[in-house]
C-alpha cells in the first residue's frame, strides 16, 4: 500500500567557483604514457605535477611501469593537501631510484589532475636549455579494449637517416588493466589506405612498449597515420605518438584519437526543450501538449498523480539520504515525554526512560586509591579511546621519580606495550629539554634496545641527525655490526681498516683478515700484465675516466720470465701509456698510482698532521694502548653518562610499583 505524500519542487542557482587547472583529464586512475630518467651525453629527466582540486587531502600512489610486463610494479605514495599542486623533479629517480624509461600509473582516493614533461638536459646546460615534451595524464577509462581501434595521426619520417629526414616519429602503448593483450599496428596513408603489412605487439600486464615507425614499417611516411587495434586478450591500452624535429630535436606529443562517446555532446541522453518548472503551472518549454513520464526504475518507487507525489513503503533507503539531511525538525516526538530517549525494544524503535548515572562532561575529581579510574573491555574492542581536534587526545602526567606520564604494558606475546601510529605525522615523538629524548632498553637475547625498520626503498629504518656545525649524529659504545652495504658520503676515520672473511681454506672454523694499504694522499692503485710486441712495445689502455680522476702519476715495471730491461717510453696521455723493452715479446707486470683530483677530493684533502682542538687536549683515542687510564679516553665522559643513565633507568623499573597486581 502506498502512503501519499506531497512534495514541493524548487530550483536553485548554483555558482561554481573556477579552480586553477592543468591541461588534461582528472581522474582516480590516471596514466602518464611516457616517462624516464637516464644518464648519458644528454641525461633524461621527467617532472610530474599533481593537482588536488578537492577540499580534502588526496592520497596518491604512483606505480612505475617499465618496458616489460609489470604484474607487481614498484610504488610510491604521497599525500597532497587540498588545492595544492605538488611537483616531483626527476620523478622516476626520486620515487623509485630507477634509471630507465616506461610509464606511470597514478591512483588516488579522489580525482586529481596530472601533467608531466619529459626532457633532455645536456652536461653544463641549465633547465632553460633543455628540450622536452608535455604529456597530460589520461584516465584509464579512455583505454581501448578487444575489437576497438584508435589512430595516431601526423606520422612523418621519410628515412632512417636523421640527416635525410626532417622528422622522426615514435609510437607507443601502455597496458592499463593488469591483463595481457595483443595489439596490431597498421600503417595508413593520408587517404586511409593500408600501406604494407601490419605489425603485432604482445603486451604483458601493465607493460609499456615504444618503437620508431621506420623500425616498424621501413618505408617513407610523408603524411601517414598508425591505426592501433586490440586484437586479442582481455587487456586494454592507451596509445601515444612522439614527433621530433631532427634539426632542433624539438619534440611534440601526439595523443591517440579518443572515442567520441567520451565527449558530453556525443554521450546520448534525452532531448527536449524544457526551460523551467513553475509552481502551479508544471513544466514549461517545448511542446504545449502530451504527457511527461517520470521513469524511476523497477521496484518500489514514486507515483505521480496530478499534483501529488507518493513514495512506496520501503522506497527510501538509508543510502538515498544525504548525511545530515534529517534534522530534529523533521522528527516527530509523538508518544514520547521529556527525559525519554529512543531505544530498540523487540527489534523496533520505542520511547523509553534514559538510564541514569555516568559522567557529565567536563568532569574533574581527585582520589588517593591505588587505581583511581579503571575500565576493562573483556571482548576484543578498545578499552579507552581519546580523540581531540585541537589538542592532545590523551595526556598523562606523573610527578613520581622514575615513573612515566603514560605507561603501557602488554601481557600477550607479540604485542606492544606502547604503540604510536600516524598517517602523515610522526608515529612516536620523544622530547626532553635536559635529558634523552627516547630511551630503549632490553634484556632479551639477540634483541634490540631500539629497533627500527621500513619496507620502503627510499626510507630509513633508523635515521639520526645533528644540526650543530661539528655535532655528531650517532654514537656507539660497543661493537657495531652491519650485515649489508655501508655507504659513507664523507670521510671514514679509524685506527685500522681491515676486512674479515671466512677463511678460503677452512671457512667453517677460521677467519682471514687483511688490513688496508694506507697513504698520506688519496692515492689510487692500478696494475696489470702486458706482453711487448716484436718491436718491444706495449700500449696500456687505461679507463676513459682515468685522467679525469687522477694526477701525479707514479710507475712501477717488473719483467717476468726474461733478463730484459723495461722502461716507460711514453707517459700517460689520453688515458694510455707505452712500455718499451730492449728485446721483443717480454711479459711485463706494471703498476700505476695516481692521486685523486675530483672536486670532492680537492675540497676535502686529509691533513696528515692535526693539532687536537682545545676540548680534546690531553685525551686519547686509545688510552689503554698508550698505557693510560680509561678516564683519558676521548668519549669517556659522554658514554659514562649514558651508562649511568641506563643503570638508573634499570633500577627505577625494578622498583616496586603502586599498581595492584593484575588479576
pLDDT digits (tens, 9 = 90+) for 577-590: 999 999 999 999 99
Look up the CATH superfamily of 27-140.
TM1070-like (2.60.290.11)
Q: Reduced to 3 states, what is the DSSP secondary structure of residue 102?
A: strand
Higher-pLDDT residue of 403 and 570 is: 570
DSSP β-ladder status, 282-285 and 101-120: unpaired
Contacts of 483 (CB under 8 A, 6+ apart): none
Q: Which of 88, 249, 251, 105 has the alpha carbon at shortest distance from 177?
A: 105
> Are 143 and 25 within 8 A, CB to CB?
no
Q: Which of 504, 503, 547 has the alpha carbon at shortest distance from 524?
A: 547
* Structural domain spans, the chain: 27-140, 143-260, 523-603
Higher-pLDDT residue of 628 and 320 is: 628
Higher-pLDDT residue of 270 and 201 is: 201
Q: What are phi and psi of 559, to 5 degrees?
A: -80, 140
Mean predicted confidence (pLDDT) in 338-351? 79
> Are 586 and 532 within 8 A, CB to CB?
yes
Contacts of 192 (CB under 8 A, 6+ apart): 225
**Taking every pair of C-alpha atoms in the chain, what is the biggest distance, in angstroms?**
122
Strand-pair partners of 221: 157
CA-to-CA distance for 650 and 445, rounded, in angstroms? 17
pLDDT given at position 204: 97
> Are 92 and 458 within 8 A, CB to CB?
no
Higher-pLDDT residue of 608 and 427 is: 608
DSSP β-ladder status, 194-203 and 2-5: unpaired
- Least confident range from 164-173, 303-312, 473-482, 564-573: namely 303-312
Three-class DSSP labels, 122-151: CCCCCHHHCEEEEEECEEHHHCECECCEEE
Q: Reduced to 3 states, what is the DSSP secondary structure of residue 215?
A: helix
How much of the chain exceeds pLDDT 90, in percent? 44
End-to-end CA distance of the chain: 59
How much of the chain exceeds pLDDT 70, in percent? 77
Dihedral of CA atoms 57, 61, 62, 63 in degrees, nearest 10, equals -170
**181, pLDDT greater than 50:** yes
Write down the pTM of the prediction.
0.42
Residue burial 259-276, b: 16+ Cβ < 10 Å; e: rest: eeeeeeeeeeeeeeeeee
Contacts of 199 (CB under 8 A, 6+ apart): 184, 185, 216, 217
If you average pLDDT over every residue of the chain, what do you get?
81
Higher-pLDDT residue of 36 and 516 is: 36
DSSP β-ladder status, 208-212 and 85-88: unpaired
pLDDT given at position 342: 78
User: pLDDT by residue (tens digit) across 275-298?
Assistant: 444 444 445 444 444 444 444 444
Question: What confidence category does residue 2 fall into, taking pLDDT thresholds of 50, 70 and 90?
Answer: very low
Q: How many other CB atoms sit within 10 Å of the CB of residue 195? A: 15
**271, pLDDT greater than 60:** no
DSSP β-ladder status, 576-581 and 181-188: unpaired
Q: Reduced to 3 states, what is the DSSP secondary structure of residue 111?
A: strand
> Are 179 and 213 within 8 A, CB to CB?
no
**650, pLDDT greater than 70:** no
pLDDT given at position 338: 80
Q: What is the CATH number of domain 523-603?
A: 2.60.40
**141, pLDDT greater than 90:** yes
The alpha carbon of residue 632 and the mean position of all alpha carbons in its chain are separated, in whole angstroms, by 48
User: pLDDT by residue (tens digit) across 456-484?
Assistant: 877 777 877 777 766 676 777 677 777 66
CA-to-CA distance for 301 and 313, rounded, in angstroms? 9
Cell of 489: 658520503
pLDDT given at position 368: 80
- Quickly tell me which residue has 523551467 as its cell: 276
Look up the CATH superfamily of 143-260.
TM1070-like (2.60.290.11)
Mean predicted confidence (pLDDT) in 64-88? 96
Q: Is the dihedral of CA 236, 237, 238, 239 positive or negative?
A: negative
Question: What confidence category does residue 421 fall into, taking pLDDT thresholds of 50, 70 and 90?
Answer: confident
One fold for both 143-260 and 523-603? Answer: no
CA-to-CA distance for 200 and 187, rounded, in angstroms? 12
Q: What are phi and psi of 358, to 5 degrees?
A: 85, -170
**316, pLDDT greater than 80:** no
CA-to-CA distance for 47 and 90, rounded, in angstroms? 5
- Least confident range from 187-191, 258-262, 561-565: namely 258-262
Three-class DSSP labels, 600-658: HHHHCCCCCCCCCCHHHCCCECCCHHHCCCHHHECCHHHHHHHHHHHHHHHHHHHCCCC
> What is the chain's Cα-based Rg?
38
DSSP β-ladder status, 511-515 and 550-560: unpaired
User: pLDDT by residue (tens digit) across 357-398?
Assistant: 666 777 777 888 878 777 887 887 887 887 878 777 777 777
Whole-angstrom CA distances from 570 to 537, 545, 555, 576, 579 are 10, 19, 11, 9, 7
> Are 513 and 497 within 8 A, CB to CB?
no
pLDDT given at position 93: 95
> Are 66 and 209 within 8 A, CB to CB?
no
pLDDT given at position 415: 66
CA-to-CA distance for 34 and 244, rounded, in angstroms? 15
CA-to-CA distance for 176 and 141, rounded, in angstroms? 9
Q: Reduced to 3 states, what is the DSSP secondary structure of residue 365?
A: coil
Cell of 430: 620523544
Amino acid at each position: 500500500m502506498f502512503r501519499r505524500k506531497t512534495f514541493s519542487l524548487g530550483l536553485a542557482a548554483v555558482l561554481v567557483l573556477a579552480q586553477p587547472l592543468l591541461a588534461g583529464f582528472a581522474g582516480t586512475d590516471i596514466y602518464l604514457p611516457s616517462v624516464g630518467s637516464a644518464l648519458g651525453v644528454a641525461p633524461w629527466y621527467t617532472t610530474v605535477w599533481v593537482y588536488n582540486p578537492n577540499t580534502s587531502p588526496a592520497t596518491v600512489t604512483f606505480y612505475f611501469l617499465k618496458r616489460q610486463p609489470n604484474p607487481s610494479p614498484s610504488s610510491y605514495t604521497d599525500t597532497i593537501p587540498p588545492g595544492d599542486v605538488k611537483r616531483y623533479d626527476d620523478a622516476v629517480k626520486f620515487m623509485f631510484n630507477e634509471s630507465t624509461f616506461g610509464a606511470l600509473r597514478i591512483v588516488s582516493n579522489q580525482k586529481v589532475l596530472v601533467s608531466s614533461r619529459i626532457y633532455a638536459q645536456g652536461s653544463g646546460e641549465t633547465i632553460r636549455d633543455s628540450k622536452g615534451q608535455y604529456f597530460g595524464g589520461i584516465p584509464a577509462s579512455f583505454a581501448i579494449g578487444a575489437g576497438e581501434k584508435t589512430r595516431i595521426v601526423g606520422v612523418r619520417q621519410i628515412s632512417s637517416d636523421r640527416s635525410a629526414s626532417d622528422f622522426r616519429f615514435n609510437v607507443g602503448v601502455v597496458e592499463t588493466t593488469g591483463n595481457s593483450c595483443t595489439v596490431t599496428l597498421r600503417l595508413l596513408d593520408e587517404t586511409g589506405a593500408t600501406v604494407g603489412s601490419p605489425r603485432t605487439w604482445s603486451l604483458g600486464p601493465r607493460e609499456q612498449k615504444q618503437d620508431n615507425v621506420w623500425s616498424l614499417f621501413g618505408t617513407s611516411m610523408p603524411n601517414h597515420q598508425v591505426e592501433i587495434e586490440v586484437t586479442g586478450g582481455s587487456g586494454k591500452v592507451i596509445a601515444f605518438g612522439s614527433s621530433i624535429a631532427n634539426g632542433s630535436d624539438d619534440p611534440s606529443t601526439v595523443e591517440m584519437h579518443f572515442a567520441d562517446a567520451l565527449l558530453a555532446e556525443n554521450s546520448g541522453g534525452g532531448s527536449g526543450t524544457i526551460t523551467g518548472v513553475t509552481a502551479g503551472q508544471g513544466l514549461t518549454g517545448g511542446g504545449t501538449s502530451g504527457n511527461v513520464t517520470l521513469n524511476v526504475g523497477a521496484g518500489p518507487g514514486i507515483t505521480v498523480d496530478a499534483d501529488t507525489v507518493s513514495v512506496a513503503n520501503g522506497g527510501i533507503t538509508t543510502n538515498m539520504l544525504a548525511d545530515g539531511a534529517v534534522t530534529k525538525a523533521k522528527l516527530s516526538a509523538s508518544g514520547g515525554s521529556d527525559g525519554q530517549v529512543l531505544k530498540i525494544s523487540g527489534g523496533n524503535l520505542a520511547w523509553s526512560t534514559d538510564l541514569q548515572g555516568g559522567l557529565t562532561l567536563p568532569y574533574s575529581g581527585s582520589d588517593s586509591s591505588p587505581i583511581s579510574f579503571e575500565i576493562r573491555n573483556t571482548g576484543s574492542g578498545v578499552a579507552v579511546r581519546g580523540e581531540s581536534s585541537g589538542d592532545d587526545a590523551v595526556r598523562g602526567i606523573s610527578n613520581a621519580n622514575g615513573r612515566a606520564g603514560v605507561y603501557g604494558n602488554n601481557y600477550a606475546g607479540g604485542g606492544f606495550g606502547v604503540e604510536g601510529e600516524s598517517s602523515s605525522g610522526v608515529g612516536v615523538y620523544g622530547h626532553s629539554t635536559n635529558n634523552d629524548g627516547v630511551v630503549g632498553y632490553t634484556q632479551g637475547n639477540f634483541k634490540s634496545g631500539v629497533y627500527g625498520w621500513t619496507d620502503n626503498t627510499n626510507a630509513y629504518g633508523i635515521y639520526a641527525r645533528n644540526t650543530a656545525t661539528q655535532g655528531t649524529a650517532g654514537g656507539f659504545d660497543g661493537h657495531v655490526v652491519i650485515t649489508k652495504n655501508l655507504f659513507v658520503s664523507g670521510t671514514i676515520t679509524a685506527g685500522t681498516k681491515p676486512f674479515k672473511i671466512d677463511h678460503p681454506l677452512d671457512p667453517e672454523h677460521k677467519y682471514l683478515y687483511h688490513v688496508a694499504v694506507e697513504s698520506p694522499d688519496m692515492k689510487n692503485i692500478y696494475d696489470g700484465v702486458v706482453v711487448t710486441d716484436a718491436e718491444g712495445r706495449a700500449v696500456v689502455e687505461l679507463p676513459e675516466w682515468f685522467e679525469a680522476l687522477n694526477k701525479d702519476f707514479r710507475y712501477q715495471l717488473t719483467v717476468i720470465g726474461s733478463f730484459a730491461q723495461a722502461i716507460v717510453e711514453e707517459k700517460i696521455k689520453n688515458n694510455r701509456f707505452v712500455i718499451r723493452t730492449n728485446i721483443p715479446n717480454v711479459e711485463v707486470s706494471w703498476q700505476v698510482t695516481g692521486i685523486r683530483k675530483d672536486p670532492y677530493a680537492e675540497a676535502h684533502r686529509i691533513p696528515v698532521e692535526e693539532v687536537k682542538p682545545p676540548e680534546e687536549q690531553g685525551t686519547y683515542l686509545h688510552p689503554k694502548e698508550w698505557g693510560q687510564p680509561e678516564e683519558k679516553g676521548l668519549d669517556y665522559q659522554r658514554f659514562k653518562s649514558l651508562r649511568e643513565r641506563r643503570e638508573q633507568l634499570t633500577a627505577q623499573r625494578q622498583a616496586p610499583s603502586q599498581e595492584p597486581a593484575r588479576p
